């Protein structure tokens, strides 16, 4: 027999599966009524099973007009965003290459793409000062993320 948290999670995932854009807006009290549970149990499931690490963004607004908005974000976007957030003016080319290697090891780019990205980054390091280089490096990584979503 499934526990209540599993039932709530499956119910929410089923609702998401029926949506085209991977975003759903739910009312916590209506969910609690339908699932015969307390709203706090729904809050628990949202906070433990619908996390950024699992590929979800949850926005919750309480009160009479309150709602819960759940959006699914591709895991690779999270990984690329994390990689981009590590880039700053003091990061070395070798540290950037380690980031690229990590993306490659997670199968988020091919060997060929990794080689091209490393070469591109090396050229940026040779030609552009750090302050101007950082946004370019981040932009290149996020462009890769958007190409991998499909």
Segments in the chain forming alpha helices (H):
4-17, 28-35, 39-49, 75-85, 93-105, 111-127, 130-148
Q: What is the pLDDT of residue 148?
A: 63
Instruction: Please state which of the ranges 64-73, 101-110, 118-127, 136-145 shows the lowest mean pLDDT.
Output: 64-73
Instruction: Please state which of the ranges 49-53, 60-64, 94-98, 125-129 shows the lowest mean pLDDT.
Output: 60-64
- The CATH code of the domain at 4-72 is 3.30.56.130
pLDDT at 20 over 90: no
Q: From CA 58, how far away is CA 70, in angstroms rounded?
A: 5
pTM of the model: 0.56
pLDDT at 122 over 90: yes
For the chain, the structural domain boundaries read: 4-72, 75-148
- Chain centroid to Cα 118, Å, comes to 24
């Amino acid at each position: 027999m499934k526990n209540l948290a599993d039932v709530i999670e499956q119910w929410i995932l089923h609702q998401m599966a029926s949506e085209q854009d991977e975003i759903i807006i739910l009312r916590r009290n209506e969910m609690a009524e339908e699932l015969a549970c307390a709203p706090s149990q729904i809050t628990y499931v949202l906070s433990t099973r619908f996390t950024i690490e699992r590929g979800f963004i949850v926005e919750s607004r309480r009160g009479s007009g309150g709602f819960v908005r759940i959006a699914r974000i591709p895991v690779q976007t999270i990984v690329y965003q994390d990689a981009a957030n590590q880039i700053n003016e003091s990061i070395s080319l070798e540290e950037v290459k380690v980031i690229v290697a990590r993306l490659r090891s997670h199968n988020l780019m091919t060997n060929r793409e990794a080689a091209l990205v490393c070469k591109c980054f090396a050229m940026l390091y040779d030609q552009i000062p750090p302050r101007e280089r950082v946004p370019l490096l981040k932009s290149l990584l996020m462009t890769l993320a958007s190409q991998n979503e499909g």
